[in-house]
Structure 1
Amino acid sequence: MTPTPSQAAALLRAAPIPAALREIAQILHDAGHEAVLVGGAVRDVLLGRPHGDWDLASSATPDEVQELFKKTIPTGIAHGTVTVVHGRGAARVHAEVTTFRGEGRYDDGRRPAEVRFLRDLREDLARRDFTINAFAWNPIREVFTDCFDGLGDLARGVVRAVGDPTQRFQEDGLRAMRAVRLCAVLEYRLDLDTAAAIRGALDVLDKVSRERVHVELFKLLAAARPILGLLPMAETGIWARVLAPLAQEELDAAIQHVERLPRDPVIRLARLLWPLRGDKGKIEKIVDGLKPSRDERARVLALTNPALAALGQARDPAQIRRILARVGRKYAADAAALHAGEWAQAVTIEEAIRGAPLAVGELAIGGDTLLAAGLATPGPQLGKTLAELLEWVLEDPRRNTPEQLLAHLRG
């Protein structure tokens, strides 16, 4: 149940705000400045969800913040943010304190070219992205502020831009990805005017660093109900810009299937890209564009190998082993999760590969043994012989003993 303003204040009053963070707010308050907690942590407390780091906003300018505290770091001082290091030992916090601000034009679709420092909280909240992120809690005066009916949108389960949605998305292209990510994570729907504004600002999304897009996409894909973010992602045109256009039937099938997969963003991303499996170059371009880690890249490329297409229907254990030998044991569990389709097939796959070698390195003998026994010569012929042995063992893993392998070659 979504709280009323008085209930919201009670929840925030009881929230486990670090003592050192309260002290920072108290010092700012005593110096005549307003200090409020803002952002996602406030929202998550109201929803009874685990919350991340607390963010402080203040009417104090960066210079005034630095004068009040012994240890500060000018983290983003040009945009009004100073990190205050306060407290002792394990209770010490690194709190970002950002001056109330208004913003001018945005040249790069991500950060304002100019920032105006303000003294008014409402003006500061007016430039935030979504109403459910535009709450403020003053822990000293115990005042809860909700200028844009964020509580109403929490009750309705809606992600809605603050003020003019067109302006919000023209300011910061990443807000489009944050909108669909919040829909998935919170299991909310996207406000219609907000969705329309996203469609008109896709060129601004194109300017955003792919590393930031990657973070938002993976958070969406790790959610319990990714479909709630993937559908608006497709409907607003974000999908085609971040991934690749798909035929409607393929798109619908991919989105529906993702919900049945483990909450692993790499496996889920591989399913979204599976319709493109015949074009490795295109998949590589999309994946590389997201700036993944080396491991993430390797997993997605392995899981979109067309050789896996028959895995979901394969019943013959030897066929299953041959299919998975194409991607190797490292990716076998992921491949089973992605392509099994149902629990019974997952069990069939697991039983088929249990104890079975899936690569020449897992054979009971290696190249040195073959050379010493005079059964192969150095060079390509050795590799060919090992590959033939693996194929023979894939048919029946019980053959994987030194004696049987050597006898087979001498046969």
Structure 2
Amino acid sequence: MDPDSARCFARLQAMKKRIRQPNLEDMDARLRDASRAIGDRLDAAGFQAWLVGGCVRDLALGIPPHDIDIATDARPDEVRATFERTVAVGAAFGTILVLEEGMGVEVTTFRTDGAYLDGRRPESVRFGTTLEEDAARRDFTCNALYLSPRTGELRDPENGIADLARGHLACVGDPAERFREDGLRILRLGRFAAAFELEVDQATLQAAKRERGSLAGISRERVIHELERIAGGRVPARAIEIFREVGALESCFPGAALRPGCVARLGPEPGFVRLLATLFEDPGIGLGTAEERREARIALLKSLRISRRAQAGCLRIWELEEWLEGTRRDPEGCTGARAVRILRDPWFADAFAVHRACRASVSPAAADLAARAASSKPEDLHPEPLVTAADLRDAGLEPGPEFGVVLREVEDLQLERRLRTRSDAIAWLRERVASARRKPSSQDSPEGEE
């Protein structure tokens, strides 16, 4: 057996060992109690109740579910009549939020879907009576699993357990039709494959390639939400590789310069901002002035429809990474107080990770700086100030812009270990003021904090 086949065989054997009969006892007690309470009420009213989708899939994979969904043959008005506290969050599509055990649980009527004209929701739905017809509308076979919250009976009309045991991720029914209904399923394909270490079924993969154009109609917010979820996973590079293979990223972000191959170098759980700063090439590269680079970066970030914090984070990461790359030409600029200020920047670690992932090699000076960051104690980067504004007033300085300049000078000397004690700093301060009085002169303002 060749090495690739051996690895594939070992992975399949490990997957088979992971798969188990979904068991209600493996659920969080609060979720289990809520599902049983809802199941009992629906059963007493003469209706079916089934846990469905991701919660059952997670139980089969040995993963404790973090939320639950219930499918039923009860119509929305019948669900509302059965429970005291409900919210009609999507009654037109069969979904009622039932408030039970201090939490909200979506209870959705079995249904078949009409045409998806907006690439997200069906134009119409027809309520059904069997879980088999409900299963036929779902995205992937592993999400078409049904578990009775009362008896623990498992129903698997689309052979999702068998696919999980084989390590396969496959669409329900015709994969091309599933992706045409909602293009976001192509991104979910990558996310699930990465999260659960599944190989994408070839028919499903080829359909995703053919139907990638359906992603063009997906809102940028929905796309970004999927990327956020992928960034928190153990192997985000696997999802990004699937997107690259099917051409999903180009469909989602037409015209953007992307570098999906660099994501593999980030490692597990990189976080959303670090992932974005790696996936999207810095649009400021090659532009002449700092202002031009900043404007180009801001324009791209605004187009992504991400939060202000994420925008600020990406912007700072790109600025710091540009500076790290510049240390190849000017390694001496990576020393002294300036270096300490770079190290204590909250985005430094992310910037170095992006630098390491996206450059052909790491700048030696940047590598030294990263090693210093790893070995530095908090008090090394944020020492207690040696002087205060009161000390400046006592030394004869009038409050004003000069205060900030002098405090910065003192901190620079402290960070460079040229001032070590408060008495040293007070002596330096008095000499600084006396010198200025003897020979008035303008003070050069040091560089801004990096």
Q: Tell me which interval the TM-score lies in, with the shorter structure as reference length.
A: 0.7 to 0.9
Distance 2:200 2:242 in 1: 7
Counterpart amino acid of residue 291 in structure 1: R
1:269 is matched with 276
Distance 1:395 1:31 in 2: 73
Deviation at 1:331, TM superposition (A): 2.6
2:180 is matched with 170
Per-residue CA deviations over 1:342-363 (Å, capped at 9, x if unaligned) read: 99763223457965679xx997
- Counterparts of 1:94-105 in structure 2 under 5 Å? 94-105=104-115
2:128 is matched with 118
Deviation at 1:47, TM superposition (A): 0.5
Deviation at 1:185, TM superposition (A): 1.3
Deviation at 1:314, TM superposition (A): 8.7
Does the aligned pair in 2 maintain the 1:105–1:114 contact within 8 Å? yes
2:240 is matched with 230
2:207 is matched with 197
2:49 counterpart of 1:39: no
Deviation at 1:329, TM superposition (A): 2.5
Q: Percent identity?
A: 31
Aligned length: 397
2:166 aligned to which of 114, 137, 156 = 156
Distance 1:152 1:227 in 2: 26
Does the aligned pair in 1 maintain the 2:59–2:65 contact within 8 Å? yes
Distance 2:299 2:340 in 1: 25
1:255 aligned to which of 263, 268, 272 = 263
Does the aligned pair in 2 maintain the 1:311–1:339 contact within 8 Å? no
2:150 counterpart of 1:140: yes
Deviation at 1:408, TM superposition (A): 5.5
Counterpart amino acid of residue 81 in structure 1: T
2:416 is matched with 396
Deviation at 1:392, TM superposition (A): 5.7
2:325 is matched with 309
Deviation at 1:134, TM superposition (A): 0.9
Does the aligned pair in 1 maintain the 2:337–2:413 contact within 8 Å? no
1:25 is matched with 39
Deviation at 1:218, TM superposition (A): 1.5
**Structure 1 residues 273 and 43: CA distance shift in structure 2, 3 A:** same
- Counterparts of 1:201-350 in structure 2 under 5 Å? 201-242=211-252, 250-252=259-261, 254-259=262-267, 263-278=270-285, 280-305=294-319, 306-310=322-326, 318-319=334-335, 322=338, 325=341, 329-339=345-355, 346-350=370-374
Does the aligned pair in 1 maintain the 2:336–2:416 contact within 8 Å? no
Does the aligned pair in 2 maintain the 1:371–1:378 contact within 8 Å? no
Larger radius of gyration: 2
Query: Could you tell which deviates more after superposition, 230-239 or 196-205?
Result: 196-205
- What is the root-mean-square deviation of aligned Cα atoms in Å? 3.8
Deviation at 1:393, TM superposition (A): 4.0
Q: Give SS of 1:18's match.
A: helix
Does the aligned pair in 1 maintain the 2:257–2:280 contact within 8 Å? no
Distance 1:312 1:134 in 2: 54
**Structure 1 residues 113 and 393: CA distance shift in structure 2, 3 A:** farther
Does the aligned pair in 2 maintain the 1:137–1:145 contact within 8 Å? yes
2:140 is matched with 130
Distance 2:419 2:191 in 1: 50
Per-residue CA deviations over 1:153-174 (Å, capped at 9, x if unaligned) read: 2122222211111111111122
Does the aligned pair in 1 maintain the 2:232–2:272 contact within 8 Å? yes
Distance 1:158 1:139 in 2: 26
**Structure 1 residues 224 and 356: CA distance shift in structure 2, 3 A:** same
Q: Give SS of 1:98's match.
A: strand
2:98 counterpart of 1:84: yes
